[in-house]
Amino acid sequence: MPKGSFSFIVHLFDRLLVGISHPGQEDGRLLQALERDEVLEGHFFDGSMEIYVSRVNGELTAYEPIVVKEPGNGEYDVIERSYELEEAPYNTAGKGKPKYNRLVVRERIAYEDDLAYVKYAMLCRLERGDVG
């Protein structure tokens, strides 16, 4: 997992876990799911990289980290998008409001035959606060 604080979206057998974990304040739901071996797949991301893990032959396997530098880095074209998240059983702050309002995704753009396409997409961060 990324060092320091990181966001996560984890698929379990019976539900999703969405949250942010901080050093010394780890998310108990995530730790319990890992200890009980309930994780099917997970995305762990901190803005500098995304680590994806999935269950292969009964074991969790981590894949090569996805790294997409910030827009304006000069190496390649990058778009940063923000997706609104709705209130759901896995994303609730109570009273019909979502705990996390946005998911920020960074996309590396590539070109082939004068057509642009997304070569890589990296989850960056979960955000709280008003959408609009």
The pTM (predicted TM-score) of the whole model is 0.86
pLDDT under 70 in the chain at which residues? Answer: 1-2, 73-74, 130-132
| Domain residue limits, the chain | 6-62, 77-127
CA distance 61 to 98: 30
User: What's the pLDDT score for residue 82?
Assistant: 96
User: What's the pLDDT score for residue 76?
Assistant: 80
Angle at the Cα of 85 (from 83 to 88), degrees rounded to 5?
A: 160
Handedness of CA 27, 65, 9, 80 (dihedral sign): positive
User: What's the pLDDT score for residue 2?
Assistant: 64
User: What's the pLDDT score for residue 54?
Assistant: 97
Rg (CA), the chain: 16
User: What's the pLDDT score for residue 70?
Assistant: 76
Give the contacts of 18 (CB within 8 A, at least 6 positions apart): 8, 9, 10, 90, 91, 99, 100, 126
